[in-house]
Amino acid sequence: MIGRNAEIAVLSRMIAESRGGQGNAVALYGVAGIGKSALLEEAASRAGEHALVLRATGVEAESELPYAALHLLLRPARHLIDRLPAGQRAALRGAFGEGHEGVPDRFLVGLAVLTLLADLAEERPLLCLIDDVHWLDRASLDALTFAARRLAAERITMVFAGRDGAEPAINGIPDLRISGLARNDCEQLLAGLIPEVRDRVIEEAEGNPLALLHFAGILTPEQRAGHLAPLPLEPPEPSMAGRLEQSLRATVRRLPERARLLLLVAAADGSGSLRLVLRAAQAFGAGPEDLEPAEHAALIDVSGDRLRFRHPLVKAAAYHEAPLARRTAAHRALAGVLDGEEHADRRAWHLSAATLEPDEQTSAILASAGDRAAGRGSNASAATAYERAAQLTVDRERRARWLAAAAESALGAGQLPRAAAAADRGRRLAADPLLLARLASVRAAVEAEQGDPAPAAHLLIAAAEGIVRVAPAEAASLLATAAGEAWFAGDRGALRRAADLLESLAADVGVRLAGVVAAVRGMERVAAGDPATGLPLLRTALPQDLHAGEASVAVTDARHPAAIAVTVEGGVVPVVGDARPVVSGGGSERVAGTFAVFGALMTGDDDAACELAAARVAACRSHGLIGALPHALQLLTQAQILSGRHAEAAASGAEAWQIARDTGQEGRLRHLHGILARLAAIRGEDDECRRLAHQAEGSARERNGSGWGGCALTLLDLVRARYDTAAERMAGILDGPLGHTVIVTFAIADYVEACARLDEPDRAAAAFARFDAWAEASGRPWAAAVAHRCRALLAPRQRAEAHFEAALAPAPLAGRPFEQARTRLLYGEWLRRARRRADAGTQLRAALHAFTELGAEPWAERARTELAATGVHAAEPGPPAASAALSTLTSQELQVVRLAATGATNRQIGAQLFLSPRTVGFHLYKAYPKLGISSRAELAGLDLGPP
């Protein structure tokens, strides 16, 4: 190859690294004809005989066929499918239309792809080449990119190639931009031309290799000799791409008519099947002999039963050079020869392309194609089919129904603008209240995901009002969602309306939702400043006999098309990109489970919150619900942070963030950024805390984060002695729409401390009264202890000690060790100022030990400073050996070793953590020396904490 040494070096290095067990992926981007496919060919040749090369190419005609590209790529690995873990095996077979076990989670399909490729790579290294990504069906692309982000320890290199600016983009994978050739490389490529002709070709081609070769190839002998001005283009185009297209179309135009017709059929088909093209071309009187002129013109290659265009631009020229009537006739001819159930989708799309006017039969055929795509988890393809079905029917209600299905599918694919547009069109047509409720549910989910919960709440309430008589259970689900959105918006009127309507439905929604009805009223009372009434109502949402096994009912299979998005503290479940939220019954278990976690968080019951959230995580893992897992992990992270399990929270939060990023959950990421910002503040990672808190705010000013980011910054300001800033920031949060949320309520104690440090206790009096009322209503020992600490800070000096002692009286059983340690620190500081050095040293040493255990370094440093000021030079406390070793593990390593200690195999661990078995082994290999062990058997003897 000429002029691509740098790109070839990158690809060669990647192939060598993967051969050694360091998997990698890259996306090549460039304009059409720039040489991306040639680089893929070069990569294949560089891989040599030691690697197995798998290939897939996006085909425009197959871009709406679910998993078409994936099916092609995985052909050499089909014999290994039976070895996959059961959930992954079922998901992959379902994606290929071979299973009957429900709608496959599209991200679980991606995990199955990773495991399958990893198993194949055990035999020899793999090089996966995926060309023309811009024409890949979305389901295949999602699965492949999900796998590509998890190649850490695999002997796999994946190379994607796509056009600049084409959708969908390949996110989360490093890219390599391919630019035009340098002039000296162009001259070398055109060495056979005389200088003046060569210069003109180079000028026209702008360094594009395809244009260089094509423009040089169409020159006549006279033009090559320089006797005529080369490349006369009519009409002239200002861009190189336009000039190249015009030139290719002119080349097609010069072919005999039957050759043009045959090329048109081949371009309309796109599959490359020579047999199929020739059968369809018979309708135009064309036969195999008509291929010869196109072959002589170097437009196509024919080998065996395959017909291949020399370049996708040639195929586009052959198609668009034909008039509309002939294009539709070509599609109709292809539909006529595509018989058999296995070609039903392909036939449907050819009929769609051949239909220019409304046609009820074709509309129904497209709707059936949409049903098949949805059943295989290909939401983007389903949305396209349903939209086209809606275009082709004149029946108003039928069109509204197809638009609702399109909106739901687009939402499931994470295509928010598309979902909103389809829902808006459907709402203008629909008359049926249930259909309107479905559409409103989609529209509200879009608003919530984009960070504006207020309109989402009102949309859902209005929809529920329309179906309270005909479908009370469905109305209750909508109202539960609306209550959550109103909670985030700080819209007490909407929250009150949702609670009133739910109470009016209480007799019709069943026993399981009775706790939800009470919990929503409890939310309304808490938001109104009445925790004495609200918190007992919220507690009714918790299971009376709380065990993790029973709590697993909190997660219903979110792949089921009857899932409705339900909002709790932290976002919408199921989130965008995970399910098709439509109004239907049967979701009461999931709704109740969701509100159970919220009730535990809101009432300060940390143990229950951890148990319930952990059960949700376990259920997501066991059912392969990858799209729903980030929210479950987020709830677990929140509960773990509040209960002082910071190392576990870091692991849970890191996994939640990774999967949310990989599955395109932008709203979830905003919230996670706020939660992780609090961990960074506790650890004293100032820049990281500010970065995460800023990202949490987003365009919605952190309503999706429910205040976590702002409270994290307040905590950081507090430990850095920026008391003015902390007090100002917290005052703004308390007066804003998020002032009633969980973390803001708990952070009132930070505001009290900042005001006390500023010697302005009266400034915090009203806020403390709120927390004090909440603490009393909660009945939690830790809350009572924090309330006493606040009183100690606000009280005159002579009354402070009694409150400090009361705050520490229930320790260590009170819970929230971080808050206990802060109380000891403040009491120790107070004692030192009272010149009671020995007593101060006792409290400060205990605080230092606790902060060190919790990884709260800046707080530990404050305790050290105070200890030094007492004159007590105690030995520096250190964490136990096990804790010190665990602190050196990455979040992923910690999860892996904890599961490995239970006796789980690498394959079982991989299925739990959505990793390949080889990657699990890689993490264990990295963890052993950090833990001071050399084998798996030794893990059982370590205190690793719960898996």
Q: Are 913 and 891 in contact (CB under 8 A)?
A: no
Cis-peptide into 858, omega within 30 deg: no
Q: Are 662 and 146 in contact (CB under 8 A)?
A: yes
pLDDT given at position 603: 95
**Mean pLDDT for the stretch of residues 49-78:** 91
Tokens, residue 391 = 């275009």
DSSP of 732-789? HHHHSTTTTSHHHHHTHHHHHHHHHHTT-GGGGHHHHHHHHHHHHHH--HHHHHHHHH
pLDDT given at position 527: 94
pLDDT band at 451 (very low <50, low <70, confident <90, very high): confident
Q: What type of residue is 127? A: L
Summarize pLDDT for 207-253 with one digit per residue, the tens.
999 999 999 988 888 888 877 565 554 456 667 878 888 889 999 99
Rg (CA), the chain: 32
pLDDT given at position 578: 31
Tokens, residue 724 = 């003015």
Tokens, residue 188 = 């070398």
For residue 502, pLDDT over 50 is answered with yes
For residue 534, pLDDT over 70 is answered with yes
pLDDT given at position 208: 92
How far is it between the farthest Cα atoms of the chain?
107
pLDDT given at position 568: 36
| % pLDDT > 90, the chain | 65
C-beta neighbour count of 205 within 10 angstroms: 26
Summarize pLDDT for 732-779 with one digit per residue, the tens.
999 988 889 989 999 999 999 999 999 999 999 999 999 999 999 999
Mean pLDDT computed over every residue of the chain:
88
pLDDT given at position 509: 77
Distances (CA, A) of 57 to 71, 272, 311, 432, 791: 11, 11, 12, 43, 68
Q: For residues 392 and 86, what is the distance between their CA atoms, to the nearest angstrom? A: 40
pTM: 0.86
Q: For residues 469 and 752, what is the distance between their CA atoms, to the nearest angstrom? A: 49
pLDDT given at position 766: 95
pLDDT given at position 877: 53
Tokens, residue 69 = 């590209």
Tokens, residue 131 = 């060309």
Higher pLDDT, 429 or 878: 429
For residue 581, pLDDT over 50 is answered with no
Tokens, residue 556 = 């219903």
- Residue 28 has φ and ψ, to the nearest 5°, of -90, 130
Distances (CA, A) of 292 to 260, 288, 476, 482, 605: 11, 8, 67, 65, 78
Q: For residues 167 and 507, what is the distance between their CA atoms, to the nearest angstrom? A: 49
Q: For residues 676 and 663, what is the distance between their CA atoms, to the nearest angstrom? A: 19
Assign 256 to helix, strand or coil: coil
Least confident range from 104-108, 164-168, 220-224: namely 164-168
For residue 61, pLDDT over 90 is answered with no
**Mean pLDDT for the stretch of residues 561-585:** 34
For residue 589, pLDDT over 80 is answered with no
pLDDT given at position 574: 33
- Strand 52-57 versus strand 300-303 pairing type: unpaired
Q: What type of residue is 270? A: G
Task: Identify which of 396, 401, 483, 386 has the alpha carbon closest to the alpha carbon of residue 434.
Answer: 401
- Cross-strand pairs, 128: 54, 158
Summarize pLDDT for 806-855 with one digit per residue, the tens.
999 876 667 899 999 999 999 999 999 999 999 999 999 999 999 999 99
DSSP 273: B
pLDDT given at position 112: 93
For residue 570, pLDDT over 80 is answered with no
For residue 788, pLDDT over 80 is answered with yes
Q: Is 789 exposed, middle or buried (0-12, 13-18, 19+ CB in 10 A)?
A: buried
For residue 702, pLDDT over 80 is answered with no
Distances (CA, A) of 153 to 127, 248, 918: 14, 45, 6
**Mean pLDDT for the stretch of residues 371-377:** 93
**Mean pLDDT for the stretch of residues 254-270:** 95
For residue 306, pLDDT over 70 is answered with yes
- Cross-strand pairs, 301: 308
For residue 718, pLDDT over 90 is answered with yes
Higher pLDDT, 550 or 414: 414
Summarize pLDDT for 864-909 with one digit per residue, the tens.
999 998 887 655 555 545 556 777 888 888 889 888 988 899 888 8
